[in-house]
Amino acid sequence: MPEFIDGNRITLLNSGHEYFPSLLEQIDQARREIFLESYIFANDRIGNQVVSALIRAAGRQVAVRVLVDGFGARDFPESFGPRLQAAGVQYLIYRQEVARFHLHRHRLRRLHRKLVVIDGRVAFVGGINIIDDDNAPPALRPRYDYAVKVEGPLVPTIRQAMQRMWENVAWASFKRRHRLPQQDPCPDCPAVQGRQRAAFLLRDNIRHRNAIANAYL
C-alpha cells in the first residue's frame, strides 16, 4: 500500500509553459544539490535553457547530477556532454544504446521517470520530458502533459529514490559501488509546508510493476 504523508504543498503544473519557468526558477535558487532524471532531453530551446541553468548551478558549487535514458536521450552525450563536463556537472546514461538507430529487444527496459529534486526541499514529478512543447509535428503542437511541484515531508522520499537510482546506474556503468553521502541536504526545511496528503509511487518492471495500477484501483 502507498504510504501517504501529511503536510505537503502540491502545485499542479499544466504543460511546459507552466512547468519550465518553475523548474528554471528553482534550479537558479539551488544551493546544495540537484538531481534530475528524464527520458528525453532534447537539444532545443528548452533543453539548452535547462542545461545553461544547471551549468550556472554548478558554478555556484552545487552538486548537479543528471540521469537520462540511453534511447530517449541518445544524442545527449554529443549535444550537451562536453559543456556539462567542463562545468563540473555529473551525468550518467541509463542503458546506453550502442547501435544508434536500433533499440534492441533485450534492452526494452528504459528509464521513463521525469523527476527533479533540488536541495531536498522541492521536487517535480510528472510526465513532462525536457523538450519544447512546440518541438513536435505541426498537427500535434503544442504537447499537453502535467507535472506537480512538491514541497514538504514527501520530498525526502523522492530524493531517496533518485539517489538510489543514481547509485545503481553508477555501479552498472563503472562496475564499482558508488555511495553518495548520507546527509540531509535541507536540515532547516520546515516539517510542514501545506495541508495536502500525498504518496510517491514507483513503477518498474521488477518490484513495482503494478504499484501505480493497484493504487488507482
Q: Which domain holds residue 75?
A: 5-216
Total count of domains within the chain: 1
Q: Is the pTM for the entire model greater than 0.85?
A: yes
Query: What tens digit of pLDDT does each residue of 38-56 get?
Result: 999 999 999 999 999 999 9
Query: What tens digit of pLDDT does each residue of 55-102 get?
Result: 999 999 999 999 999 999 999 999 999 999 999 999 999 988 655 555
Mean pLDDT of 141-150: 94
CB 33 within 8 A of CB 62: yes
Say which range, 3-12, 149-158, 174-183, 192-201, has the weakest mean pLDDT. Answer: 174-183
> What share of the chain has pLDDT > 70, as a percent?
91
Residue 116: the pLDDT is 98
Question: Residue 19's domain is classified under what CATH number?
Answer: 3.30.870.10
Q: What is the DSSP string of 114-162?
A: -EEEETTTEEEEES--BS-TTSS-GGGPSP--EEEEEESTTHHHHHHHH
- Residue 129: CB partners within 8 Å, gap ≥ 6? 38, 39, 40, 41, 42, 72, 114
